Amino acid sequence: MRAEVIESQAAGWRVQCYDEVGSTNDLAREAGAAGAEWLAIFAESQTAGRGQRSNRWVTPKGRDLMFSIVLRPHEPLEFWPRFTTLAALAVCKGIEAMLPLKPEIKWPNDIYLGSRKVCGLLAETSLSATGSFLVLGIGLNVNATTFAPELEDSAISLLKALPPTLREIDRESLAAAVLVELRQAFALCEHDYAAALAEVRERSLLIGKTIRARVNESVVHGRVLDLNHEGHLVLQLADGSVTHLSSAAEVRW
């Protein structure tokens, strides 16, 4: 397996591009353990890609964007969940910079166009001899035109959301736009997270909706009122009480 390594000074990332890998998150975790940071690993195809809840992430070769990034945040560990929220915002802004689309963020780590998922994010924290680091995997449906039968009604690509006269989206330009936005968004983690959250709220898919969330072994029902100062979901339950969710294994509305 051979990688082409491209240095991207403008965006501040070191980029590796592979034809086929098992999982970009696995490669990123190995690189992080060796001390890497500000590294983005792209693959045209994954044989063992995974999404949330260990689900397999399958996309057609050479059609979408599948990549993982390695970060070594200086912020305290309790702030690290912010990076998933910031990454979702950055992906939305990267899409908006290139295309006439309005993606929305489905808390905690999905991006939707209308009622269909276009992007998923998977965060993994690791500790090695070189210190703690964060790996963020991002799978963005770009030019896919078909999906597995079980996903036909729930998944969409950027291309399918655009007029049929457009034949293909320039993935390299889109990747560059997202990397620029990621670098800028992560700078807001500690000092201007409130401003970033204001932009996240504008793109929230769930605020105002009644949802069903699976938290550990329990199921919680309620109406989403807001995101709090940490980006946690503010949920009003049926009895009128209010609770905050910092994470959930599954959210439906």
Domain boundaries, the chain: 3-202, 210-252
| Spatial strand order in the sheet of 104-106 | 3-8, 13-21, 39-46, 65-71, 131-140, 116-128, 110-113, 104-106
Q: Has residue 216 got a pLDDT over 70?
A: yes
According to the model, what pLDDT value does residue 190 have?
82
For the segment 188-194, the average pLDDT, to the nearest whole number, is 91
Asked if residue 244 lies in contact with residue 224, where contact means CB atoms within 8 angstroms, the answer is no
H-helix or E-strand containing 14?
A: strand 13-21
Cβ neighbors of 74 (< 8 A, separation 6 or more) are none
Please give the pLDDT value at position 56. Answer: 57
The span from the CA of 112 to the CA of 139, in Å, is 12
Q: State residue 7's pLDDT score.
A: 55
Highest CATH level, class, for 3-202: alpha beta
What is the rounded distance in angstroms from the CA atom of residue 52 to the CA atom of residue 146? Answer: 21
Instruction: Please tell me the distance from the alpha carbon of residue 139 to that of residue 16, in angstroms, as a whole number.
Output: 16
Residue 152 and residue 139: Cα distance in Å, rounded?
Answer: 17
Per-residue pLDDT, 11: 77
Residues 6+ apart with CB under 8 A from 77: 125, 132
Given a cut of 70, whether residue 8 has pLDDT beyond it is no
Mean pLDDT of the residues in the chain: 91
What pLDDT does 58 receive? 61
Query: Residue 29: what pLDDT?
Result: 97
Residue 133 pLDDT exceeds 80: yes
Task: Using the predicted structure, report yes or no on whether residue 149 has a pLDDT greater than 70.
Answer: yes
pLDDT of 10 over the 80 cut:
no
| pLDDT tier at 50, thresholds 50, 70, 90 | low
- Residue 133, helix vs strand vs coil: strand
Q: What is the mean pLDDT of residues 167-179?
A: 96
Lowest mean pLDDT among 48-52, 145-149, 159-163, 201-205: 48-52
- What is the structure's pLDDT at 2? 46
Any idea which architecture 210-252 has in CATH? Roll (2.30)
Between 131-135, 213-217, 223-227, the lowest mean confidence (pLDDT) is in 213-217
**Burial (CB count <10 Å: 0-12, 13-18, 19+), residue 220:** middle
pLDDT for the residue 1: 41
Select the highest-mean-pLDDT range: 1-15, 54-68, 157-171: 157-171
